[in-house]
Structure 1
Amino acid sequence: MPRRILDALVGAALAAAPGASDILFPAAGRPGALVDGAFTPLGLPGTTGPLTPHQTAVLARGLIGTNPRLLADLRARGGCDVSYRHRDGTRFRVNIHRAASSLGLVLRRLPDAPASLDALGLPPAFARMAGLAEGLVLVVGATGSGKSTTLAALAAAILASRPVHVVTLEDPVETVLPPGLGVVSQRELGTDFPSFAEGLRAALRQAPQVIVLGEARDRDTVDAALAAAETGHLVLATLHTADCSGAIERLLAFFSPAEAGLARNRLAGCLRYVAAQRLLPRLGGGRAASVEVLFSNLRVRERIASAKDTGLGFADIIDQGAPHGMIGFDAATAALFAAGLVSEETALARAADRAALARAMDAVKAGRGLPVSDITGLTLETA
């Protein structure tokens, strides 16, 4: 019964908001959908307003069932993730979480197939990532920034270009990857392996050339990912952090002070790329990715390996590496503005350095023959 009710509610939500990326059934509040990142309230059949806590709990329990791992995660972490397929074939990753003494649900819509790197508008550095034979590549960003979509596109590009065995470790399996020239083993947490760390260690016995890690979320998982990258595998992983600098610092923070020196040397030796992304509202609808890119060079390796503040941060290295293909967030956002994909207001709202981005956009406007200031009517007095 709860599954039929959920099917009916999700079907109504998809009909009302066909472009929704997420459907929300909060423990307290009106059901709604996220369309291009903006919340849209939904009126659903059989509801006159917010779902009651009892109703959302029934929906959540219908998805969790008696699964011991999901129940343990819900008790210990206050939330769990589960896969759900609507009766029309649409797939979702569902986050069930405790809120207001009840349970809420957020359903993230999953793509039927991976997008291409070009279709996502990702910078040329991603094509170089797809050509790597070994090392660690991190795709980072906030929740909902498209990390999993980018990771799937990167894995699909690798499979399309060379005959490799790709093993994915996911929670749950999101995008079904086509084998291309190779072969794919997509494995799901809780069903196919007990933890990401154990899944990584087991994957090394499955003859992979490429390992796709859904999330580097704890010390043991990061340790196993470094070990895999150090032994000749290409490891693609996501991490929840805002930018490239934060990604490196967060990885290192998983290790104790006694382990820090070795961890720094290991990461300096195997890291190849870090890409951080944000999704900005696109003019005309949809969203555009602003992507910061850091790749390993001598300066990056020295900065990672050194426990001391050398005075040159990763943001400085990215700025100085721009002629060689590194990209900072503001430069990426300025490029989106220059291409007519985002508005000036949107760009400035997400600026890391508002003044620097404003200068870059003024240069774009000047090149188009547009005014770079809204101050008009000034005249020079003459004696």
Structure 2
Amino acid sequence: MRDNTLIKYLKLAERIDASDIHIKSGKCAIARVSGTLKQIDDTVLTKEQVFSFIQDILTEKQMTEFDLYSDVDSSFSVGDRRFRCNVYRDFNGFSISIRRIINEIGDFRSLGIPEVLKNLAVKKSGLILVTGPTGSGKTTTLASIVNYLNRVITAHIITIEDPIEYTYTSNRCVITQREIGRDASDYPRALRASLRQDPDVIMLGEMRDLESIRTALTAAETGHLVLSTLHTTGACNSIDRIIDVFPADQQQQIRVQLSMVLLGVVSQQLVPNVKGGRSLATEVMICNGAIKNIIREGKNYQLQNTMMTSRNAGMYSMEQCLEAMYRQGIISAENYQLYTPASAATNVR
């Protein structure tokens, strides 16, 4: 990293604890702080300046990809600080969206991750899904699970990421990290190859398509623990998303396979709290006998009610989590209403 202006923005983002930085031709630099966009500099950036930032960030191979497709994902470091980014062309020239990666991986308690995940994470095989919208902390939750396993079990963990965000130091586990575009061509190919690399645990950054979902299910079915994410809102919607990816004549087979391998789903979102920051809100679905039967029989409309009435099994809905956060004074009544799923929103007093 050579450009002092870009370095200045990155250091400023860290100082104000911004999660993201947006750099655009013809605009001033913008940062997202506690979910809100704020201008952080008065300098209007030229198209040439932004392109020089892009040249500083991307490798030669990535520049070629950018020339071909007009957008590319990347990650980079400045000193001991890591960032991920997407660079792209737009109407005014070039843009860069940069996400800060916090070097230290928090534990479950500090991040607000449900403790019940610890029980699922030490299973020998199966599938654990972390779901939520973009920017909801899914990658951080996966990293915390990997970090936990690294402390408590002995295993070979393979991560397949696009791009690599968190880096790990092997403790009790041997950890192999592979980045799409640098170490492997795509998710499905890397996932298939990982099955021949003696893994115990496979962390797949995202299940993006039919082939990666199918291979992940097979990996979980053949004795591996698979951790992955989906860009879906709500645990129940995640089940629908997986099944709906497949042709109609294969969906019953996938329901059966999914019911056999799925250990649990954590769906999450970051909600503004009363202190000006953001807190993690989650819902948890654990695949006990009742949930497995519902999935296998295609009665997904029963999932939400089963979750809400199974607190003793460690399950709860997003609505229940947000209501508890409101009652505890963590979030305001306004944000309770705003972030509760529309179908479940209720009045609070």
TM-score, length-scaled by structure 1? 0.84
Aligned match for 1:270, one of 256, 261, 277: 261
Matched, 1:29 2:18: no
> Which SS does the other structure have where 1:346 is aligned?
helix
Q: Give 1:239-258 correspondences, 5 Å limit.
A: 239-258=230-249
Q: Give 1:1-383 correspondences, 5 Å limit.
A: 3-5=1-3, 7-15=4-12, 17-27=15-25, 29-43=27-41, 47=43, 49=44, 51-67=45-61, 71-72=64-65, 75-76=68-69, 79-86=71-78, 88-100=79-91, 102-307=93-298, 310=299, 312-352=301-341, 357-359=346-348, 362=349
Q: Is the 8 A contact 1:25 1:105 kept in 2?
A: yes
> Which SS does the other structure have where 2:239 is aligned?
helix
Q: CA deviation at 1:71?
A: 4.2
Higher relative contact order (CA 8 A, sep 6+): 2
Q: Which runs of 5+ in 1 are unaligned?
A: 363-383
C-alpha distance in 2 between matches for 1:190 and 1:355: 41
Q: CA deviation at 1:333?
A: 0.9
Q: Which runs of 5+ in 2 are unaligned?
A: none
C-alpha distance in 1 between matches for 2:35 and 2:7: 18
C-alpha distance in 1 between matches for 2:228 and 2:278: 23
> Which SS does the other structure have where 1:4 is aligned?
coil
Question: What is the identity, as a one-letter code, of the residue corresponding to 1:64?
Answer: L
In the superposition, relative to structure 1, how do residues 338 and 303 fare at CA in structure 2: closer, same or farther (>3 Å)? same
In the superposition, relative to structure 1, how do residues 315 and 65 fare at CA in structure 2: closer, same or farther (>3 Å)? same
C-alpha distance in 1 between matches for 2:64 and 2:329: 47
| Count of residues in Structure 1 that have an aligned counterpart in Structure 2 | 348
C-alpha distance in 2 between matches for 1:13 and 1:192: 27
Q: Which stretch of structure 1 is more off in the superposition, 17-26 or 349-358?
A: 349-358
TM-score, length-scaled by structure 2? 0.92
Question: What is the identity, as a one-letter code, of the residue corresponding to 1:337?
Answer: Y
Question: What is the identity, as a one-letter code, of the residue corresponding to 2:36?
Answer: A
Q: CA deviation at 1:260?
A: 1.6
In the superposition, relative to structure 1, how do residues 243 and 26 fare at CA in structure 2: closer, same or farther (>3 Å)? farther
Q: Which stretch of structure 1 is more off in the superposition, 290-299 or 270-279?
A: 290-299
In the superposition, relative to structure 1, how do residues 22 and 304 fare at CA in structure 2: closer, same or farther (>3 Å)? same
Q: Is the 8 A contact 1:244 1:292 kept in 2?
A: yes
Question: What is the identity, as a one-letter code, of the residue corresponding to 2:89?
Answer: R
C-alpha distance in 1 between matches for 2:244 and 2:93: 33
Q: CA deviation at 1:62?
A: 3.7
- The structure having more radius of gyration, on CA atoms, is 1
C-alpha distance in 1 between matches for 2:114 and 2:242: 24
- RMSD over aligned CA atoms reads 2.2
Question: What is the identity, as a one-letter code, of the residue corresponding to 1:301?
Answer: K
C-alpha distance in 1 between matches for 2:198 and 2:159: 13
In the superposition, relative to structure 1, how do residues 281 and 356 fare at CA in structure 2: closer, same or farther (>3 Å)? closer
Question: What is the identity, as a one-letter code, of the residue corresponding to 2:340?
Answer: A
